[in-house]
Amino acid sequence: MTVLLNIVPRGKADKGGLRAVCAAAVESYTPFLGPRYGQEPVIHRALSSGAVLIEWPATAARHTRRRGTRWASATFPGVGDELLRSSGLFGQPMEMRTPVGGSYMAISGNRQEIFAWNTVPALEAVHYGEDADYFYVSNRPLAIALAMARGDVDAIETSDDYLAEALNFGFSMSGQTPFAGVTTIPTRSAVKISGGRLEVVDGPARPPAGIVQTEDPFSPGVAELEAALNSSTDRLLAALPEKTIQLRLSGGKDSRLLLGLLRNRGVQDLHAVTQGDENSEEVMVAAQLAEMTGIQHSVVRPALSVPSSVIDSFTQSLRDGQGYFLSEAIGAPYAFADPFVVGEGYASGQWPTFKGLYQRKKSIVQEDLDREWAAHNAQILTPELNEKTAQALLDWAESMPGSTPADILYAYGRDIRASRYMQASTVVVDAYSQVFFPFADSEVTAVSDALSPYLRFSHVAMFMVMRRVWNESLAVPFARGGRFRFERDGPSEKLSGPDFAQRTATPEPWPVTVLGAERMAEVPDRMLLDEPLTASARYLLDCAGWPRLEQILNPGFVALIRKLAAMETEHEALMFLRSKMRRIHTQVNLSRAILADRWLSREWLRP
């Protein structure tokens, strides 16, 4: 990826003032980029309406292209050229005669207009802001905030609305960013700047994917999905300067399919990593799959991002995420990317839309939708703030008039869970490694959209593709009783085949060596990991941010924190919370509260 910041004068450009803003943005933002960003920033001048585009490339690849008075750039290499070609010689900036696949944020313009949009899913979305002199557009909100503050970190105002949504959802539903005055565009939208005005307009619509209908009810779309997955994988491999790839291999359906796609391409320098120990069924399965393909496999205990401190690691996650909470808050203190070599590919089967995501059954009614919304909203804030954040979710759902509950659930997974939820982890990974998520690709998503809902939510489409990509992998067990949904109650006579018993068997132990077991032996505050309920509660009551947190947290959650902090042992807390699900939810909410304390400290704003 690359980072783009477009600065557009609201009126006649003051060249000296614009140069000063660019210099302040480059000087202040560059230190926030991770070790992968060793290239010098490139400043493209004399664009539409006197605009300037700052490009922070992670590799030597060029991202910005010009053709006459038209220009285009994107966060993924090579897309700028394709955008110019696909819109034709005299085309408009967002007119794409031929769809350009991938996952990227794009900016393009001509003499009068500038448009910015992102693919769906959007690993990085379009963000925008404005002040008295300029409009700003970027894939990184921090770059905009620093430009608006003319490089003065102390002048940056953070967003209380973002903090509230991050505490309840783990991310923002409404388009809030960590910075006041910097906004994320609504899903499927674009920003248009023209004639001294900025407006949010409809984004470019990708033509529907063509699906060949067949007499076999299980086949429509399978060949098209396999072709799209092959294309997206090839795109990412072509953009990887070093062919070293670290594959996060859990042995589940997603990472198993991804391993098959990479195996079929003969990727030589492929290193699979599984977190856990020798007693983990995920480790057993992953080790068997790695041995089948002959690739190197490491089993590791996760490392802290700051080896000497859990709390400093929480802060580092915010620094690496440039102000965003990691949506999986329990994992916030751990080194998310942890590359063997800086700049290697980080491959993960992140959020396959072709599995239906939250559409888990054939018939979805409003009650199912209500239950899903309740499950995704922690509601740990005051009643007023809970109502405000819940409204953000309802507003998004209501922005899709005419959609059925099933359509809305699928769109939530497609537009939100595979997009905004992923922004923080994408930014963190991008600092150290090249993001390699072939499932989060607009071409793959277009095919997923065209699949019948049944083939998605039943996992039939995924199963059929896995048969074609790596048939032998379907004879390997899944961990912890995992199954394809269509096999939940037993084998399908028409689909399952002779290997059903093998993939539903209990995984067998596999000889592995666990690395990193000694990593946390000397960490002074490791109790936050060993006793996450009681130790986290005690930390919160003593932290500098507690007076502010106590004002915005629900009194019931505050009382729970005090009760947990007073307990003598972690076992007592586990018995009090009773169910496994309540323990997990409580740990997630405590981790989010710790992130909130670290976020309020603003220490993450010091690179």
CATH of the domain at 245: 3.40.50.620
Residues 6+ apart with CB under 8 A from 6: 51, 52, 53, 54, 107, 114, 116, 135, 136, 137, 138
Q: How far apart are CA 259 and CA 261, in angstroms?
A: 5
What pLDDT, on a 0 to 100 scale, did the predictor assign at position 77? 86
572 to each of 20, 73, 255, 539, 576, how far by Cα in Å? 59, 56, 37, 18, 6
Residue 86 lies in a domain: yes
Is the same domain home to 160 and 279?
no
Based on the structure, what is the number of domains in the chain?
4
The alpha carbon of residue 483 and the mean position of all alpha carbons in its chain are separated, in whole angstroms, by 25
Q: How far apart are CA 129 and CA 177, in angstroms?
A: 11
With 80 as the cut, is the pLDDT of residue 527 above it? yes
| The CA-based dihedral angle spanning residues 232, 233, 235, 241, taken in that order and rounded to the nearest 10 degrees | 150
Instruction: Report yes or no: 572 and 565 within 8 Å, Cβ to Cβ.
Output: no
Q: What is the mean pLDDT of the chain?
A: 93
Which residue's structure tokens are 């309840």?
Answer: 168
Look at 360 and 531; give whichever has higher pLDDT: 531
Instruction: Report yes or no: 533 and 583 within 8 Å, Cβ to Cβ.
Output: yes
Q: How far apart are CA 427 and CA 335, in angstroms?
A: 13
Residue positions counted in the chain: 607
The alpha carbon of residue 231 and the mean position of all alpha carbons in its chain are separated, in whole angstroms, by 21
Look up the domain containing 87 and give its range: 2-202
Starting at the edge strand found earlier in the chain, the sheet holding 52-57 runs 42-44, 52-57, 2-9, 134-138, 127-130, 183-184
Is the same domain home to 61 and 83?
yes
Note the pTM of the prediction, 2 decimals: 0.96
With 60 as the cut, is the pLDDT of residue 89 above it? no
Residue 410 lies in a domain: no
With 60 as the cut, is the pLDDT of residue 90 above it? no
Starting at the edge strand found earlier in the chain, the sheet holding 189-194 runs 64-67, 70-74, 105-109, 113-118, 189-194, 197-202
Q: How far apart are CA 33 and CA 321, in angstroms?
A: 10
With bands split at pLDDT 50, 70 and 90, how would you rate the model's confidence at 556?
very high
The alpha carbon of residue 579 and the mean position of all alpha carbons in its chain are separated, in whole angstroms, by 29
* Domain CATH number, residue 139: 3.60.20.10
Look at 245 and 362; give whichever has higher pLDDT: 245
Residue 210 lies in a domain: no
Helix, strand counts (H, E) of the chain: 22, 18
Residue 309 lies in a domain: no
With bands split at pLDDT 50, 70 and 90, how would you rate the model's confidence at 99?
confident
What pLDDT, on a 0 to 100 scale, did the predictor assign at position 91? 57
Cα–Cα nearest to 487, from 455, 506, 451, 460: 460
Is the same domain home to 184 and 109?
yes
What pLDDT, on a 0 to 100 scale, did the predictor assign at position 147? 98
To 5 degrees, how large is the angle CA 483–CA 486–CA 492?
A: 105
What pLDDT, on a 0 to 100 scale, did the predictor assign at position 586? 98
Q: How far apart are CA 61 and CA 76, in angstroms?
A: 9
Residue 533 lies in a domain: yes
Is the same domain home to 76 and 13?
yes
Is the same domain home to 145 and 52?
yes
With bands split at pLDDT 50, 70 and 90, how would you rate the model's confidence at 61?
confident
Averaged pLDDT, 342-359: 90
Residue 325 lies in a domain: no
Starting at the edge strand found earlier in the chain, the sheet holding 296-300 runs 434-436, 345-347, 245-248, 270-275, 296-300, 514-515
Averaged pLDDT, 223-248: 93
Instruction: Report yes or no: 67 and 79 within 8 Å, Cβ to Cβ.
Output: no
Is the same domain home to 148 and 81?
yes
Is the same domain home to 249 and 391?
no
Is the same domain home to 163 and 266?
no
Secondary structure (H, E, C), 146-160: HHHCCCCHHHCCECH
Q: Is 507 exposed, middle or buried (0-12, 13-18, 19+ CB in 10 A)?
A: buried
What pLDDT, on a 0 to 100 scale, did the predictor assign at position 88? 56
Is the same domain home to 70 and 181?
yes
Is the same domain home to 395 and 428?
no
With 90 as the cut, is the pLDDT of residue 518 above it? no
Averaged pLDDT, 202-221: 89
What Rg value do the Cα atoms of the chain yield, rounded? 24
Q: Which amino acid is at 370?
A: D
Q: How far apart are CA 270 and CA 295, in angstroms?
A: 6
Terminal Cα distance for the chain, rounded:
20
Q: Quick check: helix, strand or coil at residue 530?
A: helix
Please state at what angle helix 555-566 crosses helix 580-601, rounded to 10 degrees. 100
Q: How far apart are CA 105 and CA 426, in angstroms?
A: 13
Is the same domain home to 98 and 233?
no
Q: How far apart are CA 419 and CA 433, in angstroms?
A: 19
Residue 207 lies in a domain: no
Which residue's structure tokens are 């609201």?
Answer: 10
| The CA-based dihedral angle spanning residues 81, 82, 86, 88, taken in that order and rounded to the nearest 10 degrees | 10
- Last residue within a domain, chosen from 468, 485, 511: 511
- Last residue within a domain, chosen from 485, 511, 537: 511
Is the same domain home to 267 and 381?
no
Residue 569 lies in a domain: yes
Q: Which alpha helices (DSSP H) does 294-434 contain, by range?
A: 310-320, 366-375, 383-398, 405-411, 423-432
Q: How far apart are CA 244 and CA 341, in angstroms?
A: 8
With 80 as the cut, is the pLDDT of residue 92 above it? no
Q: How far apart are CA 176 and CA 159, in angstroms?
A: 8
